[in-house]
């Protein structure tokens, strides 16, 4: 796993988002979400309207069990579609300030990368915002060798 260890502070604009949501352990819900999402949207969203493939994750400390971890898998799109594909949801991803890291390597390393990112942010005294973390997939896993996959990890900060 190759992970940038110095956070870059960025400001991200609000984005339109089509997604599905699952609750539970991220190691299980992430792959299941993507397996379900792609067939629901295939042929229903024009490729020219898709800006990127992203996942949002959050731990709701007030919840218990499977409701504790929330995972949303989907597309950032140019604008809200006239028709939302059946089985998906639309919302806006709020903009704001984020600490940016880049992971190079397989998606199976994302969980480990998040643990490292949180340790770095704590050590550097960053104050986190209570919002979703974002995984922005920068290249296509169907065309890119697994060890060359790039994932932007964005953590909301004050």
pLDDT per residue as tens digits for the range 121-144: 999 999 999 999 999 999 999 899
Helix axes 110-123, 26-41, angle to 10 degrees: 120
DSSP 45-96: S-GGGEEEEEEEEEE-TTS-GGGGEEEEEEEEESS--SSPPTT-EEEEEP-E
Domains and CATH numbers, the chain: 2-156 (3.20.80.10)
Q: What are the angstrom distances between the C-alpha of 92 and each of 17, 74, 105, 109, 137?
A: 6, 12, 29, 27, 18
Angle at 90 (CA atoms; ends 106, 146), nearest 5 degrees: 10
- pLDDT tens by residue, the chain, 158 residues: 799 999 999 999 999 999 999 999 888 999 999 999 999 999 999 999 999 999 999 987 665 655 678 999 999 999 999 999 999 999 999 999 999 999 999 999 999 999 999 999 999 999 999 999 999 999 999 899 999 999 999 999 99
């Amino acid at each position: 796993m190759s992970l940038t260890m110095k956070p870059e502070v960025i400001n991200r604009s609000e984005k339109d988002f089509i997604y599905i949501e699952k609750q539970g352990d991220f190691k299980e819900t992430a792959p299941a979400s993507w397996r379900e999402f792609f067939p629901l949207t295939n042929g229903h969203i024009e490729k020219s309207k898709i800006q990127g493939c992203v996942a949002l994750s959050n731990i709701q400390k007030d919840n218990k069990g499977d409701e504790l971890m929330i995972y949303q898998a989907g597309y950032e799109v140019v604008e809200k579609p006239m028709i939302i594909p059946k089985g998906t949801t639309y919302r806006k991803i709020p903009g704001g300030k984020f600490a940016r890291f880049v992971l190079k390597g397989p998606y199976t390393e994302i969980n480990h990368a998040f643990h490292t990112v949180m340790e770095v942010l704590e050590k550097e005294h960053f104050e986190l915002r209570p919002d979703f973390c974002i995984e922005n997939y920068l290249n296509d896993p169907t065309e890119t060798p697994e060890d060359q996959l790039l994932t932007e990890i964005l953590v909301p900060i004050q």
